[in-house]
Every structure is written in structure tokens, then in C-alpha cells.
Amino acid sequence: MNQLRAHMKLLTAAGGVGRLAGLAGLGYRAAVPRRCGGRRVCLVTGVAALLAAGVPGACQSVALASSYSILNWTKQHPAASPLARWDAPMAYDAAAGNVILFGGEHGTGNVLRDTWVWNGTTWAKRAPATSPPALFDASTAYDAATGSVILFGGFGSKQHVLDGTWVWNGTTWAKQAPATSPPARAEAVMAYDAATGNVVLFGGSGAHGHFRDTWVWNGTTWAKRAPATSPPALAGAAMAYDAATRNVVLFGGLGGVTVNGTWTWDGATWAKQAPATSPPARAEAVMAYDAATGNVVLFGGAINLRDDQNGTWTWDGATWTRQAPATSPPARGGASMAYDRATGNVVLFGGIFESTVTVTPLGDTWTWGSG
């Protein structure tokens, strides 16, 4: 997290069932309405095929509740847990049925390279035969087309930017050798676009500034896209695939200053949205698609690169709504978050709280849901 807040040194140095009908193409037999008469419900009468949280449209079948769904954060107390850290890439591995977390930063100069999995109850450390180097601020997503987790870039232990593409198959990591690859970068955002069957990567920061390029991974190599419209050059934005609208959603980031723009990717180009309500400008927030509610969830982040937040916001395809959960994780930026399809909850781990006088790495685990 402090890398984002200090990375300017690099620069100076160098809506309804009808609108969701498209989900049938993702394997749904019934759509998930975001709202019904002001009440949040999850109406899924059947799922024809398993979609991963990386294809986050894979709702678990549930009965229609006649009462309000109470959404809240719950602090977990696992028997084992990773060391406190921030900026650790994390994704739901649908093939293995667990959440995977890699690396991150525990303190200045203390960059990690360990692999952990969350099974819905506790964390377990893995010992893969091969592993990426120690890194943080890399980008990751579950590639449902290949059944593997993709990791790209990041900052290395010497604070240099990386350009490696790695694949996790549930047991070990394997470095890829694509014919084409994005330039080295960290703080980029990545999501699996189920509508096109590709992993999408946008932006990030490199040795000479911020990027505003869009790349897609097809399981073998990277290809640069040339959209007619694009967000500005950004680092530390938040991004997730919205299965309800079949678009990738991007929010915020740092582009000289923190911004609060909302953008969507339809597989061909980007479109800037104009929601009636929006979170304040921020970077280093985390975002995941909550298949249980059909909303994108955004948490935390840093305003002005130091004012850490603990607000929870949801995107319904048209606007943002600030939630008021009874319990919430403490303010932080640089956390790790993913939707755990196996439990039907969003999982959040770690991050950093930074004030004018303290820097505190966090190692707590929270879940967002109605259970």
C-alpha cells in the first residue's frame, strides 16, 4: 500500500429479471434480480452449469425469502492465518473450490512469496514445487476458460516492476512464456470477462508512469486492445466482472490524484458511467462480484493516499449505494478480496491502515453476506 502512496517517486526518478436475461448464456436457468420492491433478494431457481467466482455468476441455489436479506460483515477466527500483509493478490479458484492468496508486503522491504488457501473456515499454507518470486501489488483472476488462476506483474522485493505471467493449477505455480506480453507493471487491475472468455487487464504503474492500456489473456498469450474510449491512466483502481450486466466494472484509482470515475468494459470498448451516487475518490479499494445478491461490492481504499476508509458500497449496474452494516472491518487500503462461491460469501483479508503517525499491516479475515 505504501508503494502506491510513494510511487510518485518512480515518476520523478524516471435493474430487473428482463435486463438480466443474458445470464442464461452463462449457464443460468433463472436470473438474479438486484432489487425487488426495495428488498434485497436472491432468486435463483436453478443453475445449469458451474461458473466460478472468477466468472462470478455462479450463484448457489437458494429459496426466495419473503423478508429482508440482512447483509453484514462477520469477523472470522480461523485456526491458522497468513502473516499480516497488504497488496497480496487473491482470487477464488473454482476448480479447487477455495480462495487462493499469494505474497504481499508485511513491511517495508519485507516482501512475501507464500501461497495460502481459504476453505471457508480456516487458512492453510501450501508448499508448491514452483512459485513466483516475492512480490506485491500483482494482478490476479480466475480464468474459467482454462480452470486456472492467472497472476501478472507486481512489485518485486527490490521495488522493481515485474512482467511475469504465472498460472496456479491448484497444486503448483508455472511460469508462462507468452509470445506477447504487457510491459512490466504493478497496481494494474484484472478480471475474467465471462462474456468473451478472456481475462482483461487494465492500467497500472511502471518505471515511467501510469498505464492506460487494455490487454486480454486468452489462455496462451496476451493481446493488446485498441478501444475507441478508455479510462485515463490509472494505478490502484478496483475492478470486477459484473455477471448481471455482462460487463467488467472499474472504479477509482490514482491518476496523479485519486479519482472516482466508474467505467464499464463490454468486450470491445470502455464506457464512462454517470451514476446518481458514487463513492468518494479513492485508490487501493477492493471489489468483487457478490453472486448471492447480484451486486458488485466495493470496500475500503485510501482517499488522498492516506485517509483510509471502511465504507461498503454496492453497484447495481446503474448506480452506487452505500451500505450501513451493523459490523464492519476497520478502515484500510490494500486489502485482498474475492467471492467464495463455495460458501456464498465475499472474503476479505488483511490490508494496511496508515495514518500520519502509524503504519499498521492487518491480518484479519472477514466475510460479507447474509449468513
Contacts 24+ apart (CB under 8 A), 104-113: 104/136, 104/336, 104/350, 105/1, 105/2, 105/3, 105/136, 105/137, 105/361, 106/361, 107/361, 108/2, 109/157, 111/135, 111/136, 111/155, 111/156, 111/157, 112/83, 112/85, 112/88, 112/136
Whether 58 is in a domain gets the answer no
Whether 41 is in a domain gets the answer no
Between strands 270-272 and 238-242, the pairing is unpaired
pLDDT attached to residue 355: 76
pLDDT attached to residue 153: 98
pLDDT attached to residue 69: 65
Whether 51 is in a domain gets the answer no
pLDDT attached to residue 289: 98
Mean pLDDT, all residues of the chain: 84
Domain harbouring 201, CATH code: 2.120.10.80
pTM (2 d.p.): 0.84
Whether 49 is in a domain gets the answer no
The number of distinct structural domains making up the chain is: 1
pLDDT attached to residue 108: 75
pLDDT attached to residue 18: 30
| Cell representation of residue 240 | 470486477
Whether 38 is in a domain gets the answer no
- The residue count for the chain: 371
Scanning the structure block, which residue is given the C-alpha cell 487458512? 123
Give the span between the Cα atoms of 107 and 358, in whole angstroms.
12
Q: For the chain, how far is it from start to end, CA to CA, in angstroms?
A: 31
Q: What pLDDT, in 10s, does the model give residues 15-54?
A: 333 323 333 333 322 333 332 222 222 323 233 333 333 4
Residue range of the domain that includes 135: 2-17+68-369
Opening angle at CA 53, ends 321 and 254, nearest 5: 55
Q: What pLDDT, in 10s, does the model give residues 52-95?
A: 334 444 433 333 233 346 899 999 999 999 999 999 999 999 99
pLDDT attached to residue 303: 82
Whether 61 is in a domain gets the answer no
Scanning the structure block, which residue is given the C-alpha cell 453472486? 291
Q: CA-CA distances (angstroms) from residue 220 to 171, 217, 329? A: 19, 7, 38
Whether 60 is in a domain gets the answer no
Q: What pLDDT, in 10s, does the model give residues 201-259?
A: 999 999 999 999 999 999 999 999 999 999 999 999 999 999 999 999 999 999 989 99
pLDDT attached to residue 356: 73
Residue 198 confidence (pLDDT) above 70:
yes
Can you tell me the mean pLDDT for 290-297? Answer: 97
Whether 90 is in a domain gets the answer yes
